Amino acid sequence: MHLKTVSTKRHVSINKINKKAVEHSFSKAAQHYDNFSQLQRDIGEQLLKKIARTEVENIIDLGCGTGFFSERLLSIFPDSQLLCFDISPVMLQKAKQLKLCNTTYLCADIDDLSQFDFQVDLIFSNMVVQWSDDLSAAIDAIYQQLDCEGKLYISTLLDGSLQELATAWKQVDSYLHINQFKTEKDLCKIVSDSAFKHAKLTQETRVLEYKTVTELMHALKGMGANHVHGYQPVNMNGYGIIKKLELGYLPFKTARRLLPLTFQVCYIELTK
């Protein structure tokens, strides 16, 4: 899909994300994140395959986490300078332990990107922008950070992700216990309203399976993805809650008696 852009309409974000809480979740998860991030790894590898192998001098790994893809990016572009950017100082600390060459680190929020002036050729962002308050504004700010013909590669989650869990929670109470994700249509609009010259969006569905609700919740926590915007965390040690969630999950059980958890993934490739 090639999109020409001219519109100046903007999406206004109404639900402000509690960044302190997001940072806290990821910082808490940082130590063991690599043991729980196979899904992010698989998605990131798909995103890496999409990168055009042109000459690249400067790269930003936006929301670099523990630096797994920072290292992978440098293995593809060994002569380039890399900036590891993340809101969580603990994640950055883990990334620093990799002792990557030609790499600098910045603890900052993707929603504050407009304050910087990086001018790079490539921005890679695996499974991060769903934590942005205002993706339109973030995409605009990323555009400003790219050199002419610069490329942006993003993966993120779409509406429909974690739906089994959302349904199971209805057995417990009427609150929303999962974050709301944008639809593919929302993303197409954001991208087509941006100033990027070329855009390609692709979608895929990935399903993880767990033996128990406890294992599933533990995995989400391990990924750092357990912060739900606007809601107080529930004490998951409550036996009653687990029992109700198990009940809510019954209709989804697979033939092998496992609990599926769906992730709708969107890959976005943009050229300035």
* Residues binding ligand SAM (CB under 6 A): 19, 22, 26, 37, 40, 44, 63-65, 68-69, 86-88, 91, 109-111, 126-128, 131-132
DSSP 3-state of 147: strand
- Least spacing, CB of residue 66 vs ligand SAM, in Å: 6
User: What one-letter code names the amino acid at 62?
Assistant: L
- Least spacing, CB of residue 29 vs ligand SAM, in Å: 8
* Cβ-based nearer residue to ligand SAM, 86 or 269: 86
Of 90, 133, 89, the residue nearest 112 (C-alpha)? 133
CA distances from 135 to 13, 186, 207, 245 (A): 8, 10, 25, 32
- Least spacing, CB of residue 219 vs ligand SAM, in Å: 12
Which residue number places its CB atom closest to ligand SAM?
Answer: 65
- The tokens for 192 are 């087509």
* Cβ-based nearer residue to ligand SAM, 91 or 168: 91
* Cβ-based nearer residue to ligand SAM, 105 or 249: 105
Chain position carrying tokens 């100046």: 8
- Least spacing, CB of residue 233 vs ligand SAM, in Å: 17
* Cβ-based nearer residue to ligand SAM, 127 or 146: 127
Nearest 5 degrees, angle CA 232-CA 233-CA 239?
135
- How far apart are alpha carbons 251 and 5 in whole angstroms? 44
